[in-house]
Structure 1
């Protein structure tokens, strides 16, 4: 017989409540208690005394909408948040915190996730920070109604769009793209039409991929070519949906991203680390773990595997010193771009679905170290295979402390020791935190 979780009921006869926020949860919402029920209240900090409206159930508690801040907690910033859209836009959730509280909360989310699996005593390195104005890649949503186009991010917990005027997390070139892109989409989109715009600020200029509309007529294409010329877009591509192949619309200049100085031409819309600073912190943590001066590092003749390798964020720096690297990735265009860039290096590539077909313990036996950097879902199957292997050094890169903790528990149960974790704040003012964990046998 299956078990069902019964959500907390809204207290009878109560729609408005006063409560004190005890902590900020993993998703960035403040958490307080009302009649023994948890209430999750966005835009609050620990110590806030607030008046809230109690809304529908949320997991094991209730949602609360902040109506009035009765008394601020000690971690609330004394001045206004840096973005005028904050509180409505769902992109940032933590601009109301002061800087010290914000940084401590980011580190605390990692510690809490590890505590839940019995690994909370691990050494946590200092938090690497990303400054404002550094986000080089973003996916915007656009919707046309009449002659107006809304362009931006979704509102918090909503499908409604915030029409961005400014955004302090974006690079200046991406922020400057918003007005001309909005104007061009007024012509390219039909009334009621929508699309996503994946924009990356790269060497050579902006790389822009439009996902949707379903069709582009000649007039729309000509308008997008004019947009590319006027807005300094190096490459503009289009695809009708996420499963289709990108089709070039305008290609005015080469676009390049460099890893350890090695140029890579990414496919349109390819995954990149969100900021150069965040990427540099992650790469530095991985390279430090691989350095023979630290624990069971790998010398210049060692053999490494980079799993979920993408465009080569880690594989290329690791191969640059002469090591032999196998880069494994499921995305064919990304792997082809990496393979082309790796000419002259001891770097081989393999296309493989590591979720359904992870490298086995036998296949892993030839490597001195393994680096893996999966999506937010983690790498449960690959972690099981690694736990059964004899690889002396495993370095895990993650954008989700919860799935990292799950996979870390698997590795530790298989005989590894988690030596240290390096948290990286790459998604500024959001509830997301990335990290690098170092495991040794």
Structure 2
């Protein structure tokens, strides 16, 4: 029988306390200091802060820290404008002075590109969308005692920070918080939870309730219909996560116009977080695509780029989501513009456009989900397409896809960071690649 080997070294996971000086802000918005040579990540801090910190769990290559007491403030610290900051996980950087925040936000893109070996890229100045303009929000709803909590998840937790107002939202969504909390009390059994996706469309609020378990009972459906009347909601839908939602009450078809063409939105349809941000991204894309006459628009959604761009070029829109594709096709038929905008449903992760298919275009735009467009970028790298415009909501996946394109012979002409998510680590990018 073999002799037992040495016992593994025991790791002390008991909480410890230390004094930490914050040196910089990391890519996720945490302040970073060091303890015994290891990085410590402390939320809601700024460079120059000195704090007493509780050290507990491992986090990445270092330790997670929880501030116990602020001993000395860094020069860029300001009073957060939101009373829920620190409990609500929706914002990470309200404690940072605005000029320092803008500098940090723009640097996220530069750092991501350098990590991929892409240096000396022309990075255009950061464009910003102000708070109070967000037209789409995903609330968390859960039981709390005899009532409900409605708000956003706390940081690194499924617990809900119950809120009355949010500084990020357009007034129509902000006014909805308290009435939804009281109006949905019958929806959840004790211990239950749901996600509420609310979108302020041109024709009213579109509310999607996502919940595991059985569909709503007849009584709940009646209550949701009454709530739509009480709150003047355009539509209320219900669905399980990952499944097609079912409309429960439809008072008006939620609709949004792109390039002057109205699109009837399916439940849970993706839209840019704000109209203002959408306009910034479109203006950058238009400028980058100037002169192109045959354009492929990939991950086209409901047509936020395709429809406006079709005013000056022939567009082929490709989207994998069935509901979004059908909504865009219906809008094209109603507007009688099929001669300048064609629509194809296709899973671009599994079946990207191949080099031979790309020959009929002189430019391509892609705006993928957060995981990026790796498969399509690999096909583009093997093609002769002269111009690619990338729009992205993730600096990490954008930098990876940019590296693929550059390694395939493209030149990264410029990249523009766009901040649609104030006080967060999320960043949008528009970039132009050419051969």
TM-score, normalized by length of structure 1?
0.92
Count matched residues. Answer: 421
Alignment of structure 1 residues 6-405 onto 2, 5 Å: 15-77=16-78, 80-212=79-211, 214-239=214-239, 241-292=240-291, 298=292, 302-321=293-312, 323-343=313-333, 344-345=336-337, 346-405=340-399
Write the distance in 1 (CA, Å) between the matches of 2:21 and 2:422. 26
Write the distance in 2 (CA, Å) between the matches of 1:429 and 1:217. 40
Once the two structures are superposed, what CA deviation does each residue of 1:361-412 show, in whole Å capped at 9, x if it has no partner?
Answer: 1111111001011111111111100011111100011111011001101100
Q: Does 1:422 align with 2:422?
A: no
* Superposition deviation, residue 146 in structure 1: 4.8
Write the distance in 1 (CA, Å) between the matches of 2:388 and 2:50. 45
Contact kept in structure 1, 2:196 and 2:207, CA below 8 Å: yes
* Superposition deviation, residue 252 in structure 1: 1.4
Once the two structures are superposed, what CA deviation does each residue of 1:117-146 show, in whole Å capped at 9, x if it has no partner?
Answer: 122311111211111111101111111245
Once the two structures are superposed, what CA deviation does each residue of 1:172-191 show, in whole Å capped at 9, x if it has no partner?
Answer: 11111111111121112222
* Superposition deviation, residue 81 in structure 1: 1.1
* Superposition deviation, residue 291 in structure 1: 1.3
Q: Does 1:412 align with 2:403?
A: no
Q: Deviation above 4 Å: which 4+ runs of structure 1?
A: 9-14
Write the distance in 1 (CA, Å) between the matches of 2:235 and 2:13. 58
- Decide which moves more: 86-95 or 179-188: 179-188
User: Where does structure 1 lack aligned partners over 5 or more consecutive residues?
Assistant: 1-8, 293-297
Q: 1:14 to 1:268 in 2, by over 3 A?
A: closer
Contact kept in structure 2, 1:412 and 1:418, CA below 8 Å: yes
User: Where does structure 2 lack aligned partners over 5 or more consecutive residues?
Assistant: 1-9
In the other structure, the counterpart of 2:3 is: none
SS in 1 for 2:280: helix
* Superposition deviation, residue 429 in structure 1: 0.8
Write the distance in 2 (CA, Å) between the matches of 1:13 and 1:191. 33
* Superposition deviation, residue 12 in structure 1: 9.7
Contact kept in structure 1, 2:366 and 2:391, CA below 8 Å: yes
Once the two structures are superposed, what CA deviation does each residue of 1:179-210 show, in whole Å capped at 9, x if it has no partner?
Answer: 11111211122222221111100111100111
Contact kept in structure 2, 1:40 and 1:64, CA below 8 Å: yes
In the other structure, the counterpart of 2:7 is: none
* Superposition deviation, residue 10 in structure 1: 7.7
Contact kept in structure 2, 1:10 and 1:56, CA below 8 Å: no
In the other structure, the counterpart of 1:5 is: none
Write the distance in 2 (CA, Å) between the matches of 1:174 and 1:333. 24
Q: 1:14 to 1:254 in 2, by over 3 A?
A: closer
TM-score, normalized by length of structure 2?
0.94
Q: 1:337 to 1:14 in 2, by over 3 A?
A: closer
Once the two structures are superposed, what CA deviation does each residue of 1:339-380 show, in whole Å capped at 9, x if it has no partner?
Answer: 111233211111111111111111111110010111111111
Contact kept in structure 2, 1:17 and 1:54, CA below 8 Å: yes
